[in-house]
Every structure is written in structure tokens, then in C-alpha cells.
Amino acid sequence: MSLATALFEAVADPSRPWTFAFIGITFGAYLLIGWRSRVRETRGFYVAGQGVPAIANGAATAADWMSAASFIGMAGLISVKGSDGAMYLMGWTGGYVLLALLLAPYLRKFGQYTVPDFVGTRYASSSARIVAACCAIFVSLTYVAGQMKGVGVVFSRFLEVPLEIGVVIGMFIVAFFAVLGGMKGITWTQVMQYFVLIVAFLIPAFAIARILTDGAHSVPQSAFLFSDLAERLNQIQIDLGFDEYTQPFTSDTRLNVFCITAALMFGTAGLPHVIVRFYTVPSVRAARWSAFWALLFIAILYTAAPAVGMFARYNLLNSLHEAKIVETEVVDASGDDGGRTLYRLESPKGEALDWAYNWQATGLLSFEDLDETGTISLAKTSAEATIDKDIIVLSTPEVAGLPAWVIALVAAGGLAAALSTAAGLLLVISSSMAHDLYVQFVDPGASEEKKVMVGRLMIVLAICVAGWFGINPPGFVAETVAFAFGLAAASFFPAILLGIFDARTNRQGAVSGMVVGIAFTAFYILGNQWDTIFSVTRDAEFVRPWYMTRWFFEISPQGIGTVGMLLNFLVTVTVSRLTPPPPAEVRQLVEDIRVAG
């Protein structure tokens, strides 16, 4: 279907003109900001001329950090995991404490352009710089593919534009402001994108809190804490044969929840696209304060998300369990699979459930009346409803009966979240390739104009690769994103931390620590996930010799980064003590970055 027919059909759906309007207005604003922040020199291109005020950098960091997954997926994930969903909430916020106290101010004092800059200079080693640059590219590339796919999904779901066209439109928008303005353009669009996404998240959150508590609580965080919804949800869960919602360790063991939370926290602190944001502020003091603003802005969404997750689960179970089937219709009957059956439902209280009908068209929600009782059962033992976790946030406005423009706002918010994160990641890829690899090793004498030109070229290249991955996601992408945190925790975090806090750590220690940490973690992940990463079955002949179960204390592959990190620390410290101390200029550098003045 072309864009023109999509526009034509927009008349049929009341929310679609609003969606076009909101996406048009926000995209226009991003383009305008990008045009106004164009830059000519490398300092502007890579670190926004180090002129971003602390509070603006906080908002930009928050948008940079909160991806399509945080906006669309997280509340749904928590709603499925219940109490254990806290591992994502703490994991993706707790890392900022480490970042603010242990890394950001000192890296800002060091004050060059990239994370590999620091690793290369601190350990006086080109190979360490190359390894760090390659790690940064690998982590960012897997991460960015998910963002581009998120852009495509929002377009296809809300505008019924094909996924490919959605991805291409997203690529052009990001390319425009990132190529022209580099970090400066990205920063100021991210500030705007933060406001779009937070408003888009909070309006439905406030509305559903108000509706479910009959107007007693408007603020989701207070409805979460003070209303009796948790008690009622626990009761429903027990009636349907599930564990209580507030019961911990239902999805994994205590040790695994511990290790996964820790790996997410230490990994967050080691992710290059977050760290580079702190290079853009004017001073060390501003780096500390912008870490505070960043986490404050993030916390607004992260404390509302568990409330939304719980409310949505309550609402879903309450309205769909024992829902009466009013009518069924078969669509695509001529297709190979014999078509799908769409159900028109009525809640047990007799209200028509239009949203449940609409969402079946996307394939994210489906029903099947297996026992032919004329009602849908959501009990644990029955399998009459399949609910994708992604619809939790996206369907909240419809479920809560909010006006059409709110639904459109959620679409614009999802796009803001995906585009802002994609832009930050693309800059890391571009700076690693242009600044750390090309200028450093291929053409050290490049002029200022040439350096910026190479940077722009690399962004274009990175956007094309990311777009291609977004349209044709390789099977391993979804898997790898989940493990990127563990790998970042096991490689970058100890090297940077000891580089600042332990002057005795030398090149031999850091390199062997990184190699051991990342090798152990990657080996363990591969051994456990060989089949899903390479899309083969577990019985495949060539897999069997490689396949290993959770041999290390039953720790899950998502949590193993914590062990890899401890191993890295141990190896780095030991090897450093057994080899000569670092040269005097490196010790001077460490002394220098520790104190602001």
C-alpha cells in the first residue's frame, strides 16, 4: 500500500489524521532543530562544542537512554514478570549511580571525544584503542537495529504504511539532523524528543490510574502505592491459578535475579552512547549535575512504568476473563493457513470490547474458544488468549477509552524514543570508525574539514547498515541486544573504573582483563544460546559438541556478565601487580583527571 492510499484511508480511522498531524509536526520540529544546529568543526561534530548546559544534557541523556524498548516494551514486560520485573527497573536506572559517582566526572575531565580515546590514552596502547572501538561499534550496531525496527513497527501499526517505508522515513529524518549537526544536532533534537516521549507516556498513565481508582488517584505512582489494585490483582491471579503479582522469584531464582540486575546496572554504566553524552557539557561540575538531571528525567518514566504494567494487567484480566463471544468472523480464508478467526467480545459486565477486536488485526492479540463454552478463559491452564506484551502500552489509551488524539500522541512518543536512541548510537558508530580508526590509523594528518567530512560519511554509512538491519533483522539481533549489557559490563566497565581509581593498573592488566572478561561471558552465552543465536535446532549435528547448559552455578546467560566482570577485575588487578607499573606520563594523567581544578 502506498503512502497516498494510507492517507486516503486515514479518513476511516478517527485517530489516523491525528497521527499524521502529530508525526508531521514533531518530525518538522526535529528537522528545523537539526538545520539550526549545523556544525563545521570536529569539536562541534563529536561533542557539541562542549557547550550543552547540564539540565539540557540531562534531558538529552534521558531520551538517548530510553529506547523503543523502554517506551513500548518495558511496562508490558513488567506486567508479565510481576515482581521480578524490578530487575529491569533497577538494572536500567541503578547504573546511573555508578556512572555519576565513578565515571562521568573523570571522563569529562579527560575530555576528548570517545570512550576508546580514554582507553587508548590511559593504557598508552593502540591495540587497546582498536579493541575498544570495535566493542563500541558491535554493541551500538546490534542496539541500533532494534531501534530502526521499532520505527518501522510504529509506522506500520499506526499509519498502516509498510514497515520498509517506515524504516526509510525514519532513516532520512535521523540522517538529516545527525549528518548536518553531528552531536550538536542530535543533542538538541533529543531534548525535544524527551518532552514528546514523556508527555506521550504520562497522559495515558494518568488517565488509566484515574479510571481504575474511580477518580481517587490521578498520579500513577500514588495509585500504585495507595489504591487496593494490587490486592485485587493478587486475588484475581490466584483465582486464575497464577502466583500472586507481588510474589518475587516466580520467573527465576534469587541468584539469577541478583546477577541479571547487577549485569544490567554495570552494563548501563559501560555503554558508550551514554558515556559520550557527558563529554558534551562545559565542565566537570556540569557532568555531575547532568547525571542527576538525567536520572531524574528517566525516573519519571521508570516509576510510572511499573504502575502502568500492573494497571494494564488488572484491566486486561478483569475485562477479558469470561468475556462473552458475540460474533466471530474468518478473515483471509483463502490464505495458506486457512485464515484467522476474529472475535467480537463483550466484557462480563456487558460492555462491547472494541479495542480487543481492533488489536486482533495486528496479530498481537488472538483468541480461540477451545472448550466451545462461548466465553474466553484466561486461567493459567487454558490457552484461549494469546497476548503480546507490546500491546500493553500501545493499547492502554484505547482500553481506557481516551480520545483519538491521545492514541496519536503515543505513536509520536514511540517514534521519539526510537529515533533519539538511534541517533545517539549512530554517532558512537560514526565516531568510532572516523575518529578512532580512520583518523588515528589511516590518515593521521587529516585537515579539520576532512575529519568532519569523514565523520558525516560514516554516519551515512552507519544509517544505511542500521536501516538494512531494521528491515531484514538477522535472527541474532534480538538475542544479542539482551546480552549487550553483560558484554559491556564484562569488558568496558572494569577497564574504565580501574583506569581512574587504580593508578597501578597497566596496559598488560587491562588488556588481559578485558579479553578474559569478554571471552568468558561470550563463551558462556554462546554455549547456552547457540541454537537461538544461529537459528538452528538443538539437535543439529554441528551444535551438539558446543552446546553447554548453565554450568556455572545455574546462572542464566543474561546474568553471567556479572561473573565476567568480577573475573575481569581479578585478572586486571593481578596481572598489573605482576608486571611493570605504567609510565610516568600515564600516572600523571590519572592524577590530573581525579581532580577538577
Partner 1 sequence: METEPKKSDEARAAFWSANKRLISILLIIWLLISLGCGVWWVDWLNQFTIGSLPLGFWIAQQGSIYTFVILILVYAICTDRLERKYGVAE
CB of 561 to partner 1, least distance (A): 14
Region 197-226 residues binding partner 1, contact defined as CB under 8 A: 221, 224-226
According to DSSP, the residues that pair with 342 across neighbouring strands are 329
CB of 163 to partner 1, least distance (A): 33
73 vs 92: CA distance, rounded Å: 14
- Return the SS3 of 556: coil
Strand segments, DSSP code E, in 322-395 are 323-331, 340-346, 365-367, 375-376, 385-387
Using rule CB under 8 A, residue 274 touches partner 1 = no
Region 25-44 residues binding partner 1, contact defined as CB under 8 A: none
Of 10-18, 92-100, 332-340, 531-539, the window that binds partner 1 (rule: CB under 8 A) is 92-100
228 vs 314: CA distance, rounded Å: 11
Using rule CB under 8 A, residue 57 touches partner 1 = no
CB of 583 to partner 1, least distance (A): 20
Site size toward partner 1, by CB under 8 A: 52
Supply the DSSP string of 154-167, one letter for each residue.
HHHHHT---HHHHH
Q: What is the 3-state secondary structure (H, E, C) of 24-43?
A: HHHHHHHHHHHHHCCCCCHH
Of the pair 285, 380, the CB lying nearest partner 1 is at 285
CB of 51 to partner 1, least distance (A): 15
CB of 292 to partner 1, least distance (A): 5
Of 87-95, 146-154, 200-208, 507-515, the window that binds partner 1 (rule: CB under 8 A) is 87-95
Binding pattern to partner 1, positions 495-534, x when CB under 8 A? ------x---------------------------------
What sign for the dihedral angle of Cα 428, 434, 440, 445? Answer: negative
Of 256-264, 346-354, 392-400, 519-527, the window that binds partner 1 (rule: CB under 8 A) is 256-264
174 vs 93: CA distance, rounded Å: 26
Residue with cell 495458506: 336
CB of 56 to partner 1, least distance (A): 16
Of the pair 84, 384, the CB lying nearest partner 1 is at 84
- Return the SS3 of 198: helix
**Cα-Cα-Cα-Cα dihedral of 370, 376, 382, 386, to 10°?**
90
Of the pair 50, 440, the CB lying nearest partner 1 is at 50
| Contact yes or no for 303/325 (Cβ under 8 A) | no
What is the rounded end-to-end Cα distance, in angstroms, of the chain?
Answer: 61
Using rule CB under 8 A, residue 249 touches partner 1 = yes
Indicate which single residue of 219, 299, 379, 573 sits in contact with partner 1 (rule: CB under 8 A): 299
Using rule CB under 8 A, residue 55 touches partner 1 = no
Using rule CB under 8 A, residue 554 touches partner 1 = no
Of the pair 49, 58, the CB lying nearest partner 1 is at 58
Using rule CB under 8 A, residue 253 touches partner 1 = no
Using rule CB under 8 A, residue 113 touches partner 1 = no
140 vs 3: CA distance, rounded Å: 31
253 vs 555: CA distance, rounded Å: 9
Separation of CA 220 from chain center: 22
553 vs 371: CA distance, rounded Å: 42
Using rule CB under 8 A, residue 250 touches partner 1 = no
Using rule CB under 8 A, residue 429 touches partner 1 = no
Of 41-49, 81-89, 133-141, 384-392, the window that binds partner 1 (rule: CB under 8 A) is 81-89
Distances (CA, A) of 84 to 80, 169, 222, 253, 587: 9, 37, 20, 10, 44
Of the pair 102, 240, the CB lying nearest partner 1 is at 102
Indicate which single residue of 29, 86, 163, 342 sits in contact with partner 1 (rule: CB under 8 A): 86
63 vs 194: CA distance, rounded Å: 5
For residue 232, count other CB atoms closer than 10 A to its CB: 15
Using rule CB under 8 A, residue 314 touches partner 1 = no
Binding pattern to partner 1, positions 229-248, x when CB under 8 A? -xx--------------x-x
Of 16-24, 27-35, 301-309, 348-356, the window that binds partner 1 (rule: CB under 8 A) is 301-309
Using rule CB under 8 A, residue 457 touches partner 1 = no
74 vs 400: CA distance, rounded Å: 19
516 vs 518: CA distance, rounded Å: 6
Region 93-112 residues binding partner 1, contact defined as CB under 8 A: 93-94, 96-98, 100-102, 105
* Helices H / strands E in the chain, number of each: 24, 5
Of the pair 89, 402, the CB lying nearest partner 1 is at 89
Using rule CB under 8 A, residue 587 touches partner 1 = no
Indicate which single residue of 188, 302, 493, 530 sits in contact with partner 1 (rule: CB under 8 A): 302
Using rule CB under 8 A, residue 291 touches partner 1 = yes
CB of 380 to partner 1, least distance (A): 21
Q: What is the 3-state secondary structure (H, E, C) of 423-473?
A: HHHHHHHHHHHHHHHHHHHHCCCCCHHHHHHHHHHHHHHHHHHHHHHHHCC
Of 30-38, 84-92, 374-382, 531-539, the window that binds partner 1 (rule: CB under 8 A) is 84-92
Of the pair 63, 154, the CB lying nearest partner 1 is at 63
Using rule CB under 8 A, residue 553 touches partner 1 = no
CB of 92 to partner 1, least distance (A): 10
The residue among 484, 511, 109 whose CA lies nearest residue 270 is 484
> What are the cell numbers at 258?
541478583
Supply the DSSP string of 389-416, one letter for each residue.
TTHHHHHHHHHTT--HHHHHHHHHHHHH
List interacting residues with partner 1 (CB under 8 A). 78, 83, 85-87, 89-90, 93-94, 96-98, 100-102, 105, 221, 224-228, 230-231, 246, 248-249, 254, 257-258, 261-262, 265, 283-285, 288-289, 291-292, 295-296, 299, 302-303, 306, 501, 591, 594-597
